[in-house]
Amino acid sequence: MHRSLREPAEGVERLVVQSEVADVNVVVRSDLDVVTAHGDLRVGIGEAPFAMRRVGDELRITAMCRPVGGICVDRVTIAVPFDVDIAIMSTAGDIDIGLPASSDRPGVEFAVTTATDVGTTSARIRTDPRSPRSIEVVTDLGDITLAYRR
């Protein structure tokens, strides 16, 4: 089953994603005025907790599982504007963040924090811990990839 969520991006400063076992793919684009999230849900009894809500200047997306009934969000694809900070926390699942290739230039860096207990981390983007643009990704089990995409 597939489910889509949308929220106007105006005023959104930070995207916060909390996931249990879903692979999370974030596509960062410079031409968006809306944040979209598409979830692939494993159907069981009831509905998987997949939601988007705004709290101040944060947009929070949850992709969880229900302990009874075998209901889970297996994969989430999120499209977000370029100027939004990103924070993803996951229990298990691969995290992939694709930045527009046009942002691969001097002066466009990101403060990046990544951590995985079991998995690999690859941050093939320009980084600077002093940058006002931030990407934070933490997963207990899964690979983390940050890269420019064409």
Can you tell me the distance from the alpha carbon of 70 to that of 149, in angstroms, rounded to the nearest whole number? 34
Average pLDDT on 68-80 reads: 85
pTM of the full structure? 0.93
- Among residues 109, 122, 25, the alpha carbon closest in space to that of 74 is found at 25
Residue whose structure tokens are 């709290």: 55
Tens of pLDDT, residues 104-120: 888 899 999 999 999 99
Q: How far apart are the first and last CA of the chain?
A: 29
At 67 the pLDDT is: 67
Average pLDDT on 143-148 reads: 97
Question: What's the mean pLDDT when you consider all of the chain?
Answer: 92
